[in-house]
Chains A and B, each alone.
Chain A
Amino acid sequence: MAKIVAAMEFIAGFLFVTLLAVVIPANERKVEQPLPFNHKKHVEAGWKCINCHPFADHQKFAGLPQAQECVDCHKAEMPKYPNNKKMREITELLEKEYIAKGREIPWVVVHSVKDFVYFSHQRHVTLGKVECVECHVGVDKMTEPVTKPLFPLPTYPKMIAYNQSVRKMEWCLDCHRQKKVTTDCNACHR
């Protein structure tokens, strides 16, 4: 009797810790981006992702706009928003900080795959007909620049199933399975 109790206690303790280990989500550090940027506003103003990320539909990478492009566009749009101070400030900032000095905006790459992964935006956006927000969830609602990878948070049990932070192969696989596209390792690993 005593021993049974003891054994159960042991097991209980064991499971308790294990569960904790499984359930606690991994914490991800945020990065500092050089400039404020409001995705939400831009989307509301009727911009498509592809306008600023021009390579997304025909290249592996999505690409970012040059400071010059931002400024030109802002200048053009300025009249529409006479009382948008932020916009003006940023434009001026861009002009004297980057264009004048001829540097690129040092955005920190947040969404990146390891170099043993073959990932192509073209494949997903153009050929796969996947909406940007399907993967970059909620980016269209964001009022500040992306500071940590945006992926759909898995439901609670799934998180246990993955038993990992969300930026893992299982996440890709999950979608691939649902969409019935290849799940061969060789299709992405290289």
Chain B
Amino acid sequence: METKGKFDILRRKLIALFGTLTAALGVFSLRRKLASQENKETEPAPENHESQNGHKPRWGMVIDLDKCTGCGACVVACSVENNMMLGDAQLAEQGRVIRWMYLLPMIEGEYPNIRSRIMPMLCQHCDRPPCVFVCPVSATYKNPEGLVAQIYPRCIGCRYCVNNCPYTIKYFNWGDPEFPQPIPKGFNPDVAVRYKGIVEKCTFCHHRLQIAREKAKAEGREFRPEDYVPACVEACPAKAIYFGDLNDPESEVSKLAHSRRAFRLLEELGTQPKVIYLTEG
């Protein structure tokens, strides 16, 4: 009798448990089903990158070191365009000033026989981006047009991508950038202001691409590659920076990219940068 009662307890207990379990499983499977549905909807993957003729651009940059005078206009233009952190002496001392673009000098040899070069340095937007492979949350990824993007709200700030960037051209926000009033009034409304604890990098000013596309569409015309010009390209007084579609064999960039003077930085690593430099001479 007693045992039976206990058995009842046990049985009810078990039933209750299994009930909850199945309910839980049900809900979750439902969720999975839902997700899978969404995936079905997305097939085939929607693309509006392609123009009507199905041509998909692959954005790339060519920097002619023979024209470049290392004046740094691109650096400042980039900073102004992208609401770059201001920095101060102390931050600079600590190596925490962020500039998506800077001038990289290479000075070799002994006085007075010196081989020297000074090259504008920015994210190389590799076709095999090392930073993308190692990001644990896909916060950085290569989009269908070859732009290597950083999605700030997704980034967890592990700095793995920065470590794996052979060019050390991604930047981490060690603290919140300080913008004393009224500096924010001058911010470019098209670009997000970054905050502490995330990684940021050159975007090839893709906010300009977003706007250019829409503009072209609104004017009811086909989007032309020349509608999209990053700030550094626009700024260069020497017109030493070219930007355009590497997939289009007719474009100036792809012509220059195949010139004899063309080389890419740390090519041997196989990162396949989309920023191509042209040697002097």
Q: Which residues of A contact B (CB under 8 A)?
A: 5, 8-9, 11-12, 15-16, 19, 58, 114-116, 118, 120, 122-123, 126-127, 157-158, 160-161, 174, 176-178, 180-187, 189-190
Majority-rule SS of A interface residues: helix
Q: Which residues of B contact A (CB under 8 A)?
A: 10, 13-14, 16-18, 20-21, 24, 27, 30-31, 34-35, 38, 41-42, 45-49, 141, 143-145, 147, 149, 151-153, 189-193, 203, 206-207, 210, 214, 217-218
A-B contact pairs, 30 of them (CB 8 A): A8-B18, A12-B16, A12-B17, A12-B21, A19-B24, A116-B153, A120-B214, A123-B217, A126-B218, A127-B217, A157-B30, A157-B31, A157-B34, A158-B34, A160-B27, A160-B30, A161-B35, A177-B42, A177-B46, A182-B46, A183-B46, A185-B141, A185-B149, A186-B145, A187-B48, A187-B210, A189-B151, A189-B153, A190-B190, A190-B206
With A116-B152, A182-B46 as given contacts, are A5 and B207 in contact (CB-CB < 8 Å)?
Answer: no
Are B34 and A9 in contact (CB-based, < 8 A)? no
> In the complex, what's the smallest C-beta–C-beta distance from A165 to chain B, in angstroms?
15
Are B214 and A189 in contact (CB-based, < 8 A)? no
Q: Which of A116, A118, A126 contacts B210 (CB 8 A)?
A: A118
Smallest CB-CB separation from A182: which chain B residue? B48
Smallest CB-CB separation from B204: which chain A residue? A186
Return chain B residues, CB-CB under 8 Å to A176.
Answer: 46
Return chain A residues, CB-CB under 8 Å to B147.
Answer: 186
Are B10 and A5 in contact (CB-based, < 8 A)? yes
Are A185 and B143 in contact (CB-based, < 8 A)? yes
Are B31 and A160 in contact (CB-based, < 8 A)? yes
In Å, the complex CA distance between A91 and B235 comes to 51
Return chain A residues, CB-CB under 8 Å to B149.
Answer: 185-186, 189
Are A16 and B207 in contact (CB-based, < 8 A)? no
Are B203 and A122 in contact (CB-based, < 8 A)? no
Are A190 and B13 in contact (CB-based, < 8 A)? no
Are B206 and A186 in contact (CB-based, < 8 A)? yes
In Å, the complex CA distance between A80 and B18 comes to 67
Are A190 and B191 in contact (CB-based, < 8 A)? yes
Smallest CB-CB separation from B215: which chain A residue? A122
Are A190 and B210 in contact (CB-based, < 8 A)? yes
In Å, the complex CA distance between A99 and B145 comes to 51
Are B206 and A115 in contact (CB-based, < 8 A)? no
Return chain A residues, CB-CB under 8 Å to B152.
Answer: 116, 189
With A8-B14, A160-B31, A176-B46 as given contacts, are A16 and B143 in contact (CB-CB < 8 Å)?
Answer: no
Smallest CB-CB separation from A23: which chain B residue? B27
Return chain B residues, CB-CB under 8 Å to A180.
Answer: 46
In Å, the complex CA distance between A16 and B24 comes to 8
In Å, the complex CA distance between A123 and B203 comes to 22
> In the complex, what's the smallest C-beta–C-beta distance from B141 to chain A, in angstroms?
7
> In the complex, what's the smallest C-beta–C-beta distance from A158 to chain B, in angstroms?
6
In Å, the complex CA distance between A190 and B152 comes to 8
In Å, the complex CA distance between A8 and B19 comes to 11
8 A-B pairs with the lowest CB-CB distances in the bound complex, closest first: A116-B192, A8-B17, A15-B24, A180-B46, A190-B207, A186-B143, A12-B20, A182-B48
In Å, the complex CA distance between A158 and B217 comes to 33
